[in-house]
Amino acid sequence: MSLSAKNLFTVRPFGRAGGLIAGIALAAWTFMGCGHPYEVATPTGFVDLEDRYDDGDEEYRATTADGVVIGVRAYDNEPYAERTFLVRAIENQLRLGRGYSLLASKEVAAKDGTKGTQLRFGHDEPSGPHLYILTVFTDEDYVYLHEAAGKKELVEKAEKSIDWSLREFRPD
């Protein structure tokens, strides 16, 4: 007999209470394991902060001990916008409105081949120059943002790990 929500409630291997507990566990597994509309892997040297920042924005966040942070978020693509439109909006927001320097821009691809645009920004923080690497993917349902940031020299050292994280990223 296959394990399914219906069978758990009908078979009741441990009685009525056991079936209820199993049903709740199955539902909890469903929400915790499949909360993010994307798949992401944590690179070596980073620690996954798990659900600490998953506040409804479908957010993933991982950090090194030195403070290089990778974050992934997904927002409803509503109203629907193409990636090129959103990239332009992001540039305007960060460059013109908040003093970020756009250092480079390139096309990238996620693990399943979904095309994205990576923007590399520099920003002088009180503690020194920082880098902010933002990669944007879109599909019909979501806008996916893969971010990495930290002190410039630390981000440059962690660049291979950040690139690996991006290559392992996959929208669902």
Partner 1 sequence: MDAPMTSARGPEREEASSSAIGFYGGDMMAKMPLAESAPAPEPPPPPPPPGSFGRPIMPPQQEPTSPAARAGAGAERADAVVIYTADLTLAVFEVQKSIETVAAIAKRQGGFLARRDDQSITIRVPSGHFDQTVKDLEEVGDVLHRNVTAEDVSEEFHDLQIQLRNLNAMRERLVVLLAKSNKVEEAIAVERELGRVSGEIDRIQGRLKFLADRARLSTITVRLEPRAASTVDKGPFQVPFPWLNDLGIGRLINL
Contact positions toward partner 1, by CB under 8 A? 49, 57, 61, 63, 67, 69, 71, 73, 75, 79, 81, 86, 89-103, 105, 122-125, 129-130, 132, 134, 143, 145, 147, 149-150
> Are 135 and 146 a contacting pair, CB within 8 Å?
yes
Q: Least distance in Å: CB of 88 to partner 1?
A: 9
In the complex with partner 1, which residue's Cβ is closer, 39 or 147? 147
The 3-state DSSP composition of the chain as helix, strand, coil percent (nearest 5) reads 35, 35, 30
CA 147, distance to chain mean position in Å, is: 8
Q: Least distance in Å: CB of 92 to partner 1?
A: 5
Tokens of 58: 């479908």
Q: How far apart are CA 92 and CA 18, in angstroms?
A: 56
Q: Any idea what DSSP says for residue 125? A: E
Q: Least distance in Å: CB of 132 to partner 1?
A: 5
In the complex with partner 1, which residue's Cβ is closer, 112 or 125? 125
Q: Least distance in Å: CB of 101 to partner 1?
A: 4
In the complex with partner 1, which residue's Cβ is closer, 63 or 114? 63
Please report, as a single letter, which amino acid is at residue 37. P
Length of the chain: 172
In the complex with partner 1, which residue's Cβ is closer, 8 or 94? 94
